[in-house]
Structure 1
């Protein structure tokens, strides 16, 4: 893929007093694309979407937190228009009755104490519920893995919401799905992947991805045409970021962080003077 200049980090103006007026004005002024992407006409992505939704052997199921439905930069609506075998559920947890597909996997696990690895869910592990890196998982299951039957489950929400969703879903998911993760580093403050060129929201540590990025990287590992699929998805995401960058405000440094930085700089100067 062609290298692009890095984009700045952005945040929304969430001043509550003007939200209703802003939303009302936006509805009056903006025309919405009805034939393809469903986005406002001035940031339409129809020309960037694949001519036909990409066909994958892997089935992708996304649990989207209700709060994400009103997020202006949510990537899931675009992701599902790019992938043919993707489905979205809105809620805070997965349980029996959430999805016929997952219910069938759960039922199979009750009959077979050692079910085949047909389902994985993507989220970094914890001490009580460890995860395995996706490349390792694929190597360990390469002999028995039938890629056409694989189900990839992802969680769409803020980091806090996603952790809550995974925790609430574990009693159900742990019966039939393996917990996997992508490479990440909890010791480094995060932005995003691809040399931070797609930064939109501050993440808790390096390697945290948007849902679209996470699915793209996962399919790169899981699909025979994974590299091609990843490139197609990321090119759409890049276009989305470029369009949206014109309508977002750059992040302003927080006063407390500025004061902290100045205090640390002052302490360093004093220390150097003492040592000198």
Structure 2
């Protein structure tokens, strides 16, 4: 399994974090990413988010019932960055919040069609100062840029600083150059695609003999307070962490909130509010968890939410095994929630491994991993279990 940077989510040899600036802005940038874009090698929405402290990144297709998007859409100082003939010039009325739809041209148009509230928001467009540099992906129109290029151009106009946001493009140019060089000298992506099609559970091969290396983990967040306008600090923090191994070892920690506890957090996490308020110091809890994971541990999660929470707390995640992704690959459809995925796999019934919702989720993770490992063993060619980790 490849060593991945869980800030930029790229393999360590092509990690671009050192090239990312941190650019404060008056304009709040809200990125709405189509789910398919999350799997694109060069994820320019995440690149944009990491460069702008005053930004948010949301994944989905429909946002009609999303409280955050409803509030933004009703604010006259909000605009949507979108190319088209009806777009206002970027130097028009003041814009305090800029919504950016991240996806292909077809995906972006579909997202607007499915979100009438979003489609009703005033649009702005930008005139590129230079042709787009996304040389590995053909855009249908000249004004269609990569997300990071479009946001850099829009902010340069909105904040009247044409050169300051060029720094956002360094990581993008690095990734494009590396991808072109790699494609010119290797046919590995084609071979990898064929291997994945033949065996969607191949990432589990290194753990067939020893599944105890996988630490199944789920985290709960305190995210119920409103973000201050222009605030750069995260809108959520880790307050509950549950983990276990196939060997039966368990870990649980309540992290004392560093910010006001959201009014519905205890209810959502299904734990007593007093246990959250009386939790231990976050640094001490994460130190215990680091020792529990160990040097060779691999985090098994359902999606990336918990890994993102840990990274936000400064915990350097080891390799990540996304069981939701593996479940989807095996079923060839979205599994829905973890309970639905487990039932689709005929994984049995779970035993909670800790308190509240997180403890229940780790129980589900345990039976999902066991079932997926059984399935991986059934379709693994003889001798392939002896291959070293990372060979896939």
Deviations 1:47-83 (A, max 9, x none): 2112xx2211101111111111111122112111111
Query: Cα RMSD (Å) of the superposition?
Result: 2.3
CA separation of 1:32/1:153 partners in 2, compared to 1, >3 Å: closer, same or farther? same
Residue 168 of structure 1 is matched in structure 2 by 114
What pairs up with 1:66-145 in 2 under 5 angstroms? 66-95=35-64, 97-100=65-68, 102-106=69-73, 109=74, 117-125=76-84, 130-135=86-91, 138=92, 141=93, 145=94
Inter-CA distance 38–232: structure 2 relative to 1 (3 Å threshold):
same
Q: Which residues of structure 2 form unaligned runs of 5+?
A: 186-392
Give the structure, 1 or 2, with the largest relative contact order (CA under 8 Å, sep 6 or more): 1
Q: CA deviation at 1:209?
A: 0.3
CA distance in 2, matches of 1:65, 1:199: 21
Aligned-partner Cα distance in 1 for 2:125–2:84: 7
Q: Does 1:211 align with 2:126?
A: no
Look up the match of 2:123.
Answer: 179
Q: TM-score, structure 2 length as denominator?
A: 0.43
Match of 1:48 in 2: 19
Question: In the TM superposition, what is the alpha-carbon distance from 1:174 to its structure 2 partner?
Answer: 4.9
1:214, CA displacement in angstroms?
0.6
8 Å contact from structure 1 (residues 68, 157) kept in 2: yes
TM-score by length of 1: 0.60
Secondary structure at 1:121's aligned position in 2?
Answer: strand
Q: Is the 8 A contact 1:63 1:93 kept in 2?
A: no
Change beyond 3 A, Cα 1:68–1:227: same
Q: Measure, in 2, the Cα distance between the counterparts of 1:94 and 1:48.
A: 32
Per the alignment, residue 32 of structure 2 pairs with 63
2-structure distance, mates of 1:79, 1:161: 19
Query: Partners of 1:105 and 1:216 in 2: how far apart?
Result: 21
CA spacing shift, 1:124–1:84, aligned 2, 3 Å:
same
Cα deviation code 1:74-124 (max 9, x no counterpart): 2112111111011111111331x3242x33345xx4xxxxx6x31000113
| Structure 1: 5+ residue stretches without partners | 1-27, 110-114, 185-192, 251-276
Counterpart in 1 of 2:102? 156
Q: Return the offset for 1:216.
A: 0.6
Q: 1:166 offset after TM fit, Å?
A: 1.4
The whole-number CA distance in structure 1 between the counterparts of 2:10 and 2:79 is: 31
Cross-structure match for 1:258: none
The count of corresponding residues between Structure 1 and Structure 2 is 185
